[in-house]
Amino acid sequence: MWQAETVRARLLELYPHSTVEILGMTTRGDQILDRTLSKVGGKGLFVKELEVAMEEGRADLAVHSLKDVPMELPEGFTLAAVLEREDPRDAFVSNQYDSLEALPPGAVVGTSSLRRQALIAARFPQLQIHPLRGNLDTRLAKLDRGEYAAIILAAAGLKRLGMAERIRAFIDPAQSLPSPGQGAMAIEIRSGRNELVQLLAPLNHAETEQAVRAERQLSRSFGGSCQIPLAAYATVDQHALTLTAMVATPDGKRIARAEVHGAAATPEAVGVQVAQALEAQDATAILAACRTD
């Protein structure tokens, strides 16, 4: 809802004589909280109902956290704009400890991200990693009840909802590489709505769009979903793009990691190059092991 309100406010700034209404909806991804996303259908659970609303003409556009958007959109839908990225880092949240390094052996860390699970397990095999679902209030309440010694969340969500004070430490991308699209918001519309494309164009942030296009191409190359531990993070400096990516087994024992520098104007090409570099490190076998598990 924060994301929808933000886009609404931006549109009203651009077009003050227009009317922008919000159609509030709850998706299956919001409702199923007792299982990890990788076991109940993946990222599409957060967007399907919104796409149906657009298909039926009840909504003109949908606002998403880009990391929740499947790499392949259904036929008839397209991403019309990507807003400027918020902090892409993971955040360490705890009431007792200052960092992952400070946690004692056997401490319970909460996350339902296979990517985070793999990265934590690789660095801190002495920790226990347990599933954590629900909205931010729900997750923080579980921490406060003592169910976890610490939880790992996206810094962007905490900042956007005014909960930045709960962050004990930011985890550097070098230690916890973000999920493709993490921290970015995207606007989805029906294909062929050229008038909407033009209206939304001022909201598109070119550098963020280039970065996430590279990340999503890399993920697409491996059939990316929340069912595999995959990370990808791109940065753009003028005309240059750097993409770093990783695939791993959930236990963190097998990891492939690669980084490629390329042209920001051709982000998908950089994504393909990184995918090839990971393939050279047996990434396909690593991901096959994940699916077998």
pLDDT one-digit tens code per residue, 33-77: 444 444 444 445 567 888 989 999 999 999 999 988 988 899 999
pLDDT one-digit tens code per residue, 151-203: 999 999 999 999 999 999 999 999 999 999 999 999 999 999 999 999 999 99
Domain 1-85+182-204's class? Answer: alpha beta
Domain boundaries, the chain: 1-85+182-204, 90-171, 206-293
pLDDT one-digit tens code per residue, 246-272: 999 988 999 999 999 999 999 999 999
What does the pLDDT read at residue 284?
84
Distance CA(107)–CA(110), nearest Å, equals 10
pLDDT category of residue 291 using cuts at 50, 70 and 90? low
**293: amino acid identity, one letter:** D
What does the pLDDT read at residue 37?
43
Residue in the block written with tokens 């610490």: 150
Q: Which fold has domain 90-171?
A: D-Maltodextrin-Binding Protein; domain 2 (3.40.190)
pLDDT one-digit tens code per residue, 81-117: 999 999 999 999 999 999 999 999 999 999 988 899 9
Q: From 232, 202, 210, 209, select the one nearest 220 (Cα to Cα).
A: 232
Region of residue 246 (left: phi > 0; alpha: psi -120 to 50; beta: else): beta
Handedness of CA 286, 290, 291, 293 (dihedral sign): positive
Residue range 114-126: average pLDDT? 94
* Residue 144 annotated to the active site: no
CATH number of 206-293: 3.30.160.40
Q: Active site residue: 34, 68, 137, 251, which one?
A: 68
Q: From 206, 214, 257, select the one nearest 234 (Cα to Cα).
A: 214
90-171 and 206-293 in the same fold:
no
pTM metric for this prediction: 0.88
pLDDT category of residue 27 using cuts at 50, 70 and 90? low
What does the pLDDT read at residue 92?
98
Q: Which two tokens stand for residue 280?
A: 């050279």
Distant-in-sequence, close-in-space partners of 187: CB < 8 Å, separation ≥ 6: 7, 61, 62, 63, 64, 79, 80, 81, 82, 83, 200, 203
